[in-house]
Amino acid sequence: MEFIDPELLAYCEYHTSEEDALLKKIVRETQAKVLMPRMISGHLQGKILELFVKMLRPNTILEIGTYTGYSGICMARGLAEGGKLITLDINDELETMVRGFFEESGLASQIDYRLGNALDIIPSLEGPFDLVFIDADKFNYSSYYDLVIDKMPSGGIVLADNVLWSGKVLPEGRKKLDKDTEAILDFNRKVHQDSRVENSILPIRDGILMARKL
């Protein structure tokens, strides 16, 4: 489901700074070699993430769900000097490819890429995280939020991707309430009701929830 007119979306993409050769290559290789290439952030969302991070200049970013590294590289480009991106993924089949992309980005020394279940890894991370991008399995979004929120400073930002879940958050899309949809609904409600944060949902691509810790 597209949330805006496809022609307007194409217009937005056309008027978004071009992807560089590395990001184009990551898209190509993801489409050619990896399952579910639709999961990649892509041109528009990648640039938006990069611009957000350039506005925030965080010291530490935690990304939950690396996939093929596209969003991670976009975000790492906005880190403060000496800052780092910790990025987690459970899928070790992508490791060699992703490490190669991080090397090519010239930012590998600032990227701490860890393989394993984020639910196990996050408790071992000290923080503080200035920015957290939640983009792994939808079922655990609320758990990820609970695991990171106390490790974030006032002013810290949580971004969570796919919170409109192709429109399935709406009643008409909800005929079959699968587990992931239920989890997204619970997550959106939880953040909205959490008095520790102020938040909004950006209707970008599949929906990005933004919460700022008070």
Q: Give me the residues that bind ligand SAH (CB under 6 A), please.
A: 39-41, 65, 67, 70-71, 88-91, 117-119, 135-137
Q: Which is nearer to Ca ion, 4 or 214 (CB)?
A: 4
CB-nearest residue to Ca ion: 161
Q: Which is nearer to ligand SAH, 107 or 119 (CB)?
A: 119
Considering only residues 171-200, where is the footprint of Ca ion by CB under 5 A? none
Cβ at position 146, least distance to ligand SAH in Å:
14
Query: If 0-12 CB within 10 Å is exposed, 13-18 middle and 19+ buried, where does residue 189 land?
Result: exposed
Binding mask 143-162 for Ca ion (x = CB under 5 A): ------------------xx
Cβ at position 60, least distance to Ca ion in Å:
21
Cβ at position 214, least distance to ligand SAH in Å:
26
Q: Which is nearer to ligand SAH, 32 or 154 (CB)?
A: 32
Q: What is the DSSP string of 138-188?
A: GGGHHHHHHHHHTTS-TT-EEEEE-TTGGGTTSGGG-SS--HHHHHHHHHH
User: How is the beta sheet containing 157-161 ordered, strand by strand?
Assistant: 111-115, 84-89, 60-64, 131-134, 157-161, 208-213, 197-202
Total residues found in the chain within this entry:
214
Among 50, 89, 130, 135, binds Ca ion (CB under 5 A): 135
Rounded-to-integer distance, Cα 24 and Cα 204, Å: 20
**Three-class secondary structure of residue 158 per DSSP:** strand
Q: Which of 9, 22, 77 is nearest to 47 (CA)?
A: 77
Give the number of residues in contact with Ca ion, rule: CB under 5 A. Answer: 3
Q: Which is nearer to ligand SAH, 42 or 156 (CB)?
A: 42
Q: Are 115 and 92 in contact (CB under 8 A)?
A: yes
Per-residue tokens: 129: 């995280």
Beta bridge partners of 131: 61, 157
The entry of Ca ion, ligand SAH, none that residue 88 binds, CB within 5 to 8 Å by partner kind: ligand SAH
63 binds Ca ion (CB under 5 A): no
Cβ at position 85, least distance to ligand SAH in Å:
12
**Three-class secondary structure of residue 207 per DSSP:** coil
Residues in the site for Ca ion, rule: CB under 5 A?
135, 161-162
